[in-house]
Amino acid sequence: MIKKFLTKDLLVLSLILIISYLILTICVSDSPVWGDEPHYLLIAYSLAFDFDSNLHNNSFAQLDEYFFVHNSKNIKFHATPQTNSDKIYSRHEIGLPLLLAPVLRLASTTPFPRIIMLLFMNLLGYLTIINMYLLLRRYGKQSAFLVSIAVGLSAPMYFYSAQIFSDLVAALVILYSYRKIQDVMTINVGHFLWLGFILSFLPWLHIKYVPVTVFLYLYYGCQMKVHKGQMLAQFARITAAAVISAILLFVSFYYRFESFFPLAAWKGENYLDISIIPYSVIGTLLDTSKGLFVYAPFYFFSITALVFLRSIPNKIPLLCIFLLTQGINLLHPVWWGGFCPPGRYSLVAIFILAILLQVFINNAHKITCLVVYLSFALSIINTCIMLIMRKEDVPYMIWSWGKSEYTLSHFYDIYFLPNLIFQQGQQVDAGEIATSVEIFTMFLFVTAVVMVCERYNWQRNTEVQTLVDDSREST
């Protein structure tokens, strides 16, 4: 079993990832924790040292003993509306702090707790890329290696391997679960129980993962539909584990929010907004500060891969996972993810984009493949630029709002790109929107041209291959 996985490519990939992530850890080890990171860490601190999630006797200043918390004295709790003097519960889900608590307890006994926490997140990022590689190599080992390198060393994956957010954990769980569901015939009893456990853990990370969790269970059941006896019995046990996990989760909601439904923690706030979709779609792809295609341009070819629809494995399940994970995020008013590197919400479905990218490489013309490889190099160069140009007090210069000297737009002088970040809650003006629409229209045109050309080339090669096969049969 070990020899089956320990291939030369896997060892080389592991070495590259480990060295790269260690460099990232060294670069950001003296940086403060920002945004929601202190809130997750404070819940983990309470779990690790007080053995509860009640924050009434905790403060962000306590974290300064282990981490450099930006402006710790002025940070306010992201507390629920049910908060009083004796009970202060965070709105943030408890799943990630449950994972961080033992790591934080261990880190507190060392002289470098920040590095220990970063190494833990590095490990999650490494496991995500390795699982993605094991999935991709079923469709081509060489292309799987190159795609895994590109994804692992580019935004968003590379930077979120040093971020304390639940998105990376969710990405790993969904990817691992999908890969194991494909291997349903080879799963033993231990794997059944383990898979059921981690699947039921997804909603603990965020309530928005409930739809994709339900789908993965249903997909698992469909994969096992043709099997009887022991296999179905194991699936029944997994379902029972999910029910138990759901009951415990609802109890947790009631304990913290005085309601069985977590939306009570966000009472009075507009969490989803359908009118934001034009901003979120254009911005997620092309925004100057947070656009995925700006910082990792090779993902553009994941879109053009749709021209090879017939060659995409398991199209329907992948489409469902993508829509269930990305649809909710596109409706969120803060579609870019707040104070964070680009592509935060696309991280969960990054393995789907990687599969599409590999399909494109396997079917595209050699010249087009060369362009893809050049985009790999450009994306990794962008990663290096972002690390080198970062501010001393900010982990990554790409975290700044809008067009500034700390974005790639300044380095490349690409101010024609849209800037749709809502600065201080104010929307951009009409001229900015018009420019964004023009850029997006041009992007769609270029995409269509590439897809038409590659479709013609693919059909021509298919016809030639058919003639060759017919000739061999007649001979």
In a domain, residue 471? The reply is no
Residues 113 and 229 in one domain: yes
Q: Which residue has the higher pLDDT, 164 or 85?
A: 164
Task: Give yes or no: residues 372 and 452 share one domain.
Answer: yes
Query: What value does the mean pLDDT take over residues 402-420?
Result: 52
Amino acid identity of residue 422, one-letter, is F
Tell me what pLDDT residue 151 has.
Answer: 96
What is the number of other CB atoms lying within 10 angstroms of the CB of residue 296? 29
Do 373 and 250 share a structural domain?
no
Q: Are residues 260 and 151 in the same domain?
A: yes
* The residue to which tokens 């590659």 are assigned: 454
For residue 7, the model assigns a pLDDT of 80
Residues 160 and 31: beta-carbon distance below 8 Å: no
Q: Are residues 197 and 79 in the same domain?
A: yes
What are 52-110's pLDDT values in tens digits?
888 888 878 778 777 777 666 777 777 776 666 678 888 888 899 999 999 999 988 88
Domain assignment of residue 475, yes or no: no
- The reported pLDDT for the residue numbered 146 is 93
Question: Which of 227, 249, 266 is the C-terminal boundary of a domain?
Answer: 266
Q: Do residues 318 and 458 share a domain?
A: yes
Q: Is residue 18 part of a domain?
A: yes
- Phi, psi (5° rounding) for residue 118? -65, -40
Which of 231, 266, 301 is the endpoint of a domain? 266
pTM of the entire predicted model: 0.87
Q: Mean pLDDT over residues 209-226, rounded?
A: 83
Same domain, 143 and 245: yes
Residues 259 and 291 in one domain: no
pLDDT digits (tens, 9 = 90+) for 376-408: 998 898 888 777 766 554 544 444 434 444 456
Q: Is the pLDDT of residue 225 over 60?
A: yes
Q: Are residues 203 and 180 in the same domain?
A: yes
In a domain, 359, yes or no: yes
pLDDT confidence bin for 147, thresholds 50/70/90? very high
Q: Which of 215, 244, 266 is the last residue of a domain?
A: 266
Same domain, 132 and 180: yes
For residue 336, pLDDT beyond 80:
no
In a domain? residue 115 = yes
Rounded to whole angstroms, the Cα distance separating 69 from 60 reads 7
Residue 427 sits in which domain range? 274-464
Cβ-Cβ contacts under 8 Å for 167 (sequence gap 6 or more):
160, 337, 344, 345, 347, 348
Cα–Cα dist 408/400, whole Å = 11
Whether 422 shows a pLDDT value over 60: the answer reads no
* Mean pLDDT of all residues belonging to the chain: 78
pLDDT one-digit tens code per residue, 148-160: 999 999 989 998 8
Whether residue 473 lies inside any domain: the answer is: no
How many independent structural domains does the chain possess?
A: 2
| The two three-digit tokens of residue 211, written as one number | 């739809």
Amino acid occupying residue 453: C
The answer to whether residue 469 is domain-embedded is no
Whether 249 and 328 share a structural domain: no
Q: Are residues 456 and 337 in the same domain?
A: yes
Contacts (Cβ under 8 Å, ≥6 apart) of 104: 41, 44, 45, 48, 66, 113, 117
Residue 418 clears pLDDT 70, i.e. is over it:
no
pLDDT digits (tens, 9 = 90+) for 261-297: 776 556 555 567 777 777 788 778 877 777 888 888 8
Residue 423 banded pLDDT, cuts 50, 70, 90: very low
Measured CA to CA in angstroms, residue 252 lies from 53, 192, 212, 256, 444 at distances of: 10, 25, 21, 6, 45
- pLDDT, residue 401, reads 39
Query: Is residue 404 one of the residues assigned to a domain?
Result: yes
**Per residue in 232-255, pLDDT tens?**
666 677 777 788 888 888 888 888
